[in-house]
Amino acid sequence: MSTGTITVKGRSIVVTERSLGRRAPVVPHDQRREMAQKVDDIEARLNRLTVSRHDPERFFVQRSELADDLRRLAVSLRE
């Protein structure tokens, strides 16, 4: 942790820099494009998601599939 002092309009302000703790591992460069494509695909599916009065259950099935895909992506990012 480091500190410094800044003077603004005659007032002294103490600035402290702190570590934010453990950072998440960085995604390897070769996997970023693949993960970005997965996120783009999920976004496109989410944008098309609507409730149909002919088949309202389909909305909930698709929503569950999107949630599962997001969970899997989050797990792969944590590994």
Q: Can you give the pLDDT of all 79 residues of the chain as single tens digits?
A: 566 766 766 777 777 766 666 666 677 777 888 888 999 999 999 999 999 999 999 999 999 999 999 999 888 887 7
Number of domains present in the structure of the chain? 1
Cβ(77)–Cβ(35) under 8 Å?
yes
CA–CA separation, 4 vs 39, rounded Å?
41
Residue 50 is part of which domain span?
A: 26-79
- How far does the chain reach from its first CA to its final CA, in angstroms? 29
Q: Within a domain: residue 54?
A: yes
Residue 11: CB atoms within 10 A of its CB come to 7
Q: Within a domain: residue 68?
A: yes
Q: Within a domain: residue 4?
A: no
Q: Within a domain: residue 7?
A: no
Give me the pLDDT at residue 24, please: 60
Cβ(17)–Cβ(3) under 8 Å?
yes
